[in-house]
Amino acid sequence: MVRLTVNLIAKKSNLKPRKEETIAQCLKKITHINFSDKNIDAVEDLSLCKNLSVLYLYDNHISEITNLNYATNLTHLYLQNNCIPCIENLRSLKKLEKLYLGGNYIAVIEGLEGLEELRELHVESQRLPLGEKLLFDPRTLRSLADLEFLLNKLTKLWKMDLSGNPVCLKPKYRDRLILVSKSLEFLDGKEIKNMERQFLMNWKASKDAKKISKKKSSNNEDSSNS
């Protein structure tokens, strides 16, 4: 297995410092790092890469998200098809826009607090033990309530892929998420068209109106009886 270090990055990137320029200064200029499918199993301190914005680490053997707290300029993080069991250590990535975590061993969607710029979340096809489900809160086993709460917080999220996970089989799963998130444009690889959202909004408004009318009628009937 291979550990991702600044020395490895410098070597594979063929950095050629200018006259009177150090390797550290060169590393500071790097904005994109691609070490996908390189047998990487851990990420070490890459704090010299202060301007890193895109990091490709998919198709590796990484089992823990670590040493990314320095990457405050990171906008794209590709970690799909690794061995990651939980989402953690991402809170300092305030500029993160796209997060790819599909094909891992993640059982709970958590640790996204503070990622206010997040626009795309990909957690499709998690490799979970038979019978285990992808959850959105440790306390929640059977509902979409926490997922809906999450979408209310991620107001810039426009693309999300949860395909291949049991949550997609919940009744009215797609309808509920479209209604709760006004920013979402693609869900599980399928575009959310304006006509679809408007139809659901009208349907919900009609349903709510009937509930209110029924409640008023019930209250009036109770008043008459009393």
User: Do strands 186-187 and 159-161 pair parallel, antiparallel, or not at all (unpaired)?
Assistant: parallel
Q: Which residues contact 9 (CB under 8 A, 6 or more apart)?
A: 27, 30, 33, 35, 46, 49
In whole angstroms, what is the distance from residue 35 CA to residue 45 CA?
A: 15
Q: How far apart are CA 55 and CA 62, in angstroms?
A: 14
> In whole angstroms, what is the distance from residue 154 CA to residue 112 CA?
9
| Beta strand 2-4 pairing with 120-122 | unpaired
* Rounded Cα distance, 130 and 90, in Å: 28
* Domains assigned to the chain: 2-192 (3.80.10.10)
> Residue 102 burial by CB count (10 A; 0-12/13-18/19+): exposed, middle or buried?
buried
Element (H, E) at 199: helix 194-225
DSSP code at position 90: -
Q: What is the DSSP string of 23-39?
A: HHHHHHH--EEE-TTS-
- pLDDT per residue, tens digit, the chain (226 aa), is 899 999 999 888 776 767 777 888 888 889 999 999 999 999 999 999 999 999 999 999 999 999 999 899 999 999 999 999 999 999 899 999 999 999 999 988 888 877 888 888 899 889 988 877 777 654 433 335 677 767 777 778 899 888 887 778 888 889 988 988 888 999 999 999 999 999 999 988 888 888 888 777 766 666 666 5
